[in-house]
Structure 1
Amino acid sequence: MDKHQISVGLDIGTTKIVAMIGRKNEYGKVEILGVGKSKSLGVHRGVVNNITQTIQSIQQAVQEAEAAASEKIEDVTVGIAGQHIRSLQHSDYITRPNSELVIDETDIDRLINQVHKLVMLPGEEIIHVLPQEFKVDGQAEIKEPIGMYGGRLEANFHVVVGQVSSIRNIGRCVKSAGLDLEGITLEPLASANAVLSQEEKEAGVALIDIGGGTTDLAVFKDGIIRHTAVIPFGGNVITEDIKEGCSIIEKQAELLKIKFGSAWPGENKDNEIVSIPGLRGREPKEITLKNLSKIIHARVVEIIEQVYVEIKNYGHEEQKKKLIAGIVLTGGGSQLKHLKQLVEYITGMDTRIGYPNEHLAGDSDEDIASPLFATAVGLVMDGLKRQDRKKAEQVAEEVVENEGEEEGTTTEAQQDIVTEEPKKERRSFLDKLTERVKEFLDNAE
């Protein structure tokens, strides 16, 4: 099989590390060849805090995926999240030396590079600069200024900032596990690609990805990402509360949450009781489901309210910024019973659970189409997209070379790609970031 056709997503989470191998089938859907999952030991709230344990967990997940797919994994696309990620809005402008010429890529790159010079807190670096809309000579709401005339080019930007040391630590773990870093992607963006439709992104939607250690939020409107945030709470704090509130061990608390947990206390009758075996010769404990759901409810409300504050910060109450498609919940934490109803009750917005099955091949395993794997599926899709882009660039370069040698002998296939991709796509910041992290790791060896 052509090595370039497969892509590997590595989701380094707080509770689990997932390695997923996928490729595109003939219908353009993603076919998952193998999945490996291991318990994540060295990660706290999305940030690596024990390099050795994380490397072991990555290797375990990768070996499992390799065995399932009978493929050797070399390059991976990694997701970054964690409590150190924050975002801000920023406006900037450049004055063009010659307004007789049309605006092109270089002008936009110049404007974006200017945003990169923003002064950040120590240790922080700009990961992602996303232009929202442009203004040319005061004319507002321009989505694509390339090809227009104008002297002053302005734009509003959504700037995502993170701690560069945390990102390098992830790069270090990947490299030490014997893998190459093919790309870095923001996890909320990966999850969004896996579970949201283009219509939802146009209409306006908030994606809430409830993981083990963090809850990620990504807000889309008019097809553009408008706001991102990482809230340092997730499913683990709910388990922790059950453990404290019921005086039981963590393993039992986790099982209780998954099997009997509900986010809505009114659902359970007073006489519904679960008996939990006591530790070594002690009496079993009896816990009422009503109490269990009260504990869960209190913490879930806190998480949702924090997310809702972020959605309000984006400004969804303004008519122009209204999120018509409401909220989509994904991630392992979204599988909690009655969570959808609770989110609708708190926010007053339509809510659905996001499954990553829209982009998956029809015969995919049901387990893979679970919200638990949304980020991993998104990372595989991102890797495939990156490969397509590289391929298109190579073909375009070949065509240009061939044209120099002999005119008019382009094959039909090349012609198609060239007509589709006349301009070289602007390299994303995450590509540049990947290169910087790679360079840093090479020099640090």
Structure 2
Amino acid sequence: MEQNISVGLDIGTTKIVAMIGRKNDYGKVEILGIGKSKSLGVHRGVVNNITQTIQSIQLAIQEAEVAASEKIDGVTVGIAGQHIRSLQHSDYITRSNAETVINEDDIDRLINQVHKLVMLPGEEIIHVLPQEYKIDGQAEITEPIGMYGGRLEANFHVVVGQVTSIRNIARCVQTADIELEGITLEPLASANAVLSQEEREAGVALIDIGGGTTDLAIFKDGIIRHTAVIPFGGNVITEDIKEGCSIIEKQAELLKVKFGSAWPGENKENEIVSIPGLRGRDPKEITLKNLSKIIHARVVEIIEQVYVEIKNYGHEEQKKILIAGIVLTGGGSQLKHLKQLVEYITGMDTRIGYPNEHLAGDSDDAVTSPLFATAVGLVMDGLERQERKRVEALEEDVDQSTQVVNETPDFTEAVSENQLEEEQEIEVNPTTPKKERRSFIENFTSRIKDFLDNAE
């Protein structure tokens, strides 16, 4: 696999998608190939059958490899599921010397302190996302590095998940002979793919309606403020149609996709669709009005649960109001009249989120569907990680070459005393930028890998 190519693996409840992409000359993401397979062994975002999940992953990977004529070695995997929850937490550290400027080590010490929070049995912290900092009581500081102060505190958005569920996903990927390059929370991946920077600044709620779960991510002032996973998605609607109309699941799914609507008022009583009977039985006649009533009832329930989470964040407070409203994405967002129903229930501006802003102009229409928002976001995440590694490698090379020059004795004789003093000052100056620290999620990924390697 080429170095500048990234692969996103979206392990969903209804489908598994492997997407291969790279950055083109204009900085946009060019999709080289997609592989899709029916997701077997995953229920509401959680693996409940390892063997079936591995087979589904391998099918999706093989299809993507054929489409892109590339060999896949490593992937960035999305995690979601009903075991994910989030909480707000404030913490602080007291610095030993307030006369020196705050550096990355201080931030690391503060973040590491958050990891000492006591979680429920089996849970582990996945993401620690700083909201804003406070230095010696001065609030609303977004970047504390380089400032003076004795007490450094911050508000954090902490995302927590069942570590066994995440290890199971990692195990499936590794057993399918693919390297796990990174793990990302799926609502964050979808947000990267469909939201603009202006929306994040203004305040926006991203609702990703998948097969088994509905993921929510709220942004305000460019920072993620709240995440939640609601354990209902498109599958529950299909299940309701199956029960309500006494038909098989395959027919219920087709009915939902072809004739389904979230707004029952638009269908007339005499609009009827005929479903073939099983094994020579008489066909079933279903009115579209009844179909929309079944869909409407369940969709309202899902939206109301999401709206409770939006209100929990504090959307009704003047300072926290989400000016950009709601963005719907995921396969479930393609349901007819869903946008209008969401606007009616929440009173917030709503649009459907397509992952086309970051994609190359000649991308296939299928790729720009909301169905693939998470996969596009995972590809972007993988490309960003590669870019960071390249920058770090360059910085290390520069550091080493600088060291070699400093150690060469011939140069020091020709250098004036003033220049030597300046060099020494640069070396001890605490504000000299260090290479970018690894994010916690990268450390978390390597810990998961180590655990699986040792388990072998």
Q: TM-score, normalised by structure 2?
A: 0.94
Distance in 2 (CA, whole Å) between partners of 1:70 and 1:270 is 51
1:198-277 equivalences under 5 Å are 198-277=197-276
Aligned to 1:368: 367
Residues 341-390 of structure 1 show CA distances to partners (whole Å, capped at 9, x for unaligned) of 00000000000000000100011100000000000000000000000000
One-letter amino acid of the counterpart of residue 243, structure 2: E
1:328-407 equivalences under 5 Å are 328-406=327-405
One-letter amino acid of the counterpart of residue 431, structure 1: E
Distance in 1 (CA, whole Å) between partners of 2:207 and 2:112 is 30
CA-CA distance at 1:425 after TM superposition: 2.1
One-letter amino acid of the counterpart of residue 432, structure 1: N
Residues 157-186 of structure 1 show CA distances to partners (whole Å, capped at 9, x for unaligned) of 100000000000000000000100000000
Size of the alignment, in residue pairs? 431
Aligned to 2:454: 443
Unaligned runs of 5+ in 1: 408-420
Distance in 2 (CA, whole Å) between partners of 1:403 and 1:436 is 33
CA-CA distance at 1:422 after TM superposition: 4.7
Alignment partner of 1:426 is 2:425: no
CA-CA distance at 1:424 after TM superposition: 2.2
User: For the aligned residues, what is the CA RMSD?
Assistant: 1.0
Deviates most, 35-44 or 394-403: 394-403
Distance in 1 (CA, whole Å) between partners of 2:318 and 2:438 is 33
Aligned to 1:325: 324
Secondary structure of residue in 2 paired with 1:99 = coil
CA-CA distance at 1:319 after TM superposition: 1.0
Distance in 2 (CA, whole Å) between partners of 1:233 and 1:78 is 21
Aligned to 1:416: none
Distance in 1 (CA, whole Å) between partners of 2:206 and 2:443 is 26
Alignment partner of 1:14 is 2:13: yes
Distance in 2 (CA, whole Å) between partners of 1:259 and 1:120 is 45
One-letter amino acid of the counterpart of residue 367, structure 1: A
One-letter amino acid of the counterpart of residue 93, structure 1: Y
CA-CA distance at 1:202 after TM superposition: 0.5
CA-CA distance at 1:405 after TM superposition: 2.4
Residues 22-74 of structure 1 show CA distances to partners (whole Å, capped at 9, x for unaligned) of 00000000000000000000000000000000000000000000000000000
Secondary structure of residue in 2 paired with 1:71 = coil
Aligned to 1:309: 308
One-letter amino acid of the counterpart of residue 187, structure 2: P
Distance in 1 (CA, whole Å) between partners of 2:48 and 2:336 is 32
Alignment partner of 1:115 is 2:114: yes
One-letter amino acid of the counterpart of residue 153, structure 1: L
Aligned to 1:105: 104
Distance in 1 (CA, whole Å) between partners of 2:353 and 2:436 is 30
CA-CA distance at 1:82 after TM superposition: 0.3
Alignment partner of 1:81 is 2:80: yes
CA-CA distance at 1:281 after TM superposition: 1.0
CA-CA distance at 1:426 after TM superposition: 2.9
Distance in 2 (CA, whole Å) between partners of 1:426 and 1:228 is 24
Residues 292-341 of structure 1 show CA distances to partners (whole Å, capped at 9, x for unaligned) of 00000000000000000000010011111110100000000000000000
One-letter amino acid of the counterpart of residue 353, structure 1: I
Aligned to 2:423: none
One-letter amino acid of the counterpart of residue 440, structure 1: F
Aligned to 1:413: none
Aligned to 1:181: 180
CA-CA distance at 1:406 after TM superposition: 3.4
One-letter amino acid of the counterpart of residue 12, structure 1: I
Q: Which has the larger radius of gyration?
A: 2
Aligned to 2:417: none
CA-CA distance at 1:288 after TM superposition: 0.3
CA-CA distance at 1:429 after TM superposition: 1.5
Distance in 2 (CA, whole Å) between partners of 1:80 and 1:205 is 22
Distance in 2 (CA, whole Å) between partners of 1:427 and 1:158 is 18
One-letter amino acid of the counterpart of residue 184, structure 2: T
Aligned to 2:144: 145
Q: TM-score, normalised by structure 1?
A: 0.96
Q: Go from structure 1 to structure 2 and tell me whether the alpha carbon gap of 1:3 and 1:192 turns closer, same or farther (over 3 Å shift).
A: same
